[in-house]
Amino acid sequence: MFLRVLDQIVFGFKAEIFAVLDSLLTPLLQRVLAGLAEPVSGTDDEIQLGELRREYLTFIQVILNNDLASVLVSETNQGFFDVLLVSVETLAKMVSNGTGHLAASRLAFSILAKMALLWGGPDVAKPSANPPASTPAPTPAFPGFEQFLINRFNPVCWDVLRNPEFRPHHDAQAKSVLNEIAGLEQTIYSKTGNLFIDHLQQTFFPAMGIDGTEFVRSMTTSTDRKIFSNFLVAFLKQRG
């Protein structure tokens, strides 16, 4: 309930609430993450945990959507940022049939995509019928964030794509998660261009034993996210 109320305060006051939010954020999220880590002993506990996951992720989303993203990486809170990010990545990868898991995963992926948009710098590429042979060097908001996108955000997508419990061709909620994954992958491409493509082709796919040629083609040429998402559905069905 407190997180819901705080959502409304942040939405209503925006920049005016920055100083209060800056001092409150780390201890508040430490308490939330402690709650998320508590053992579950029954259906009621699982339902409450599902609600806490949703409210936690919604709170982070509200911060990002109301021009307050800098509070997450402020001097006060930057020491906690990696803990926060790991928690979002963990929830993104939680795609089993547990209570609210897929809904939380969808929210988590949308948060990762928003971070990529906010901090990835200007676009250096974008999906088009004829992708450029070369792209400018990325210029993210923070030095090295382009590698963060490639080495942290991209593997989260593939952890889900390779999970045998993730079946978007049979489940509408799973397909909505897949749509968020498609958007995140294309955002990473938009922010990092050929740096991402080279990493996929030379390092990432060979390490997994995957022929990623069609994946790269679809990601870089599908101007509508739904087209790329539909490709991913077919890609997963083909792989069983």
Poorest-confidence range of 33-47, 60-74, 124-138, 223-237?
A: 33-47
**Dihedral angle, C-alpha 208, 209, 213, 214, nearest 10 °:** -80
Res 98: pLDDT: 67
Res 23 pLDDT > 80 = yes
Residue linked to tokens 């993203």:
69
**What's the average model confidence in pLDDT over 17-41?**
92
pLDDT at 239: 67
- pLDDT, position 7: 84
- Domain range list for the chain: 1-92, 112-240
Mean pLDDT over 84-110 rounds to 91
pLDDT value, residue 227: 96
What is the tens place of the pLDDT at every residue in 100-118?
A: 799 999 999 999 999 999 9
Average pLDDT over residues 216-224: 96
**pLDDT tens digits, residue range 131-182?**
988 999 999 999 999 999 999 999 999 999 999 999 898 889 999 999 999 9
For position 53, what pLDDT does the model report?
94
Answer yes or no: is pLDDT of 97 > 80. no
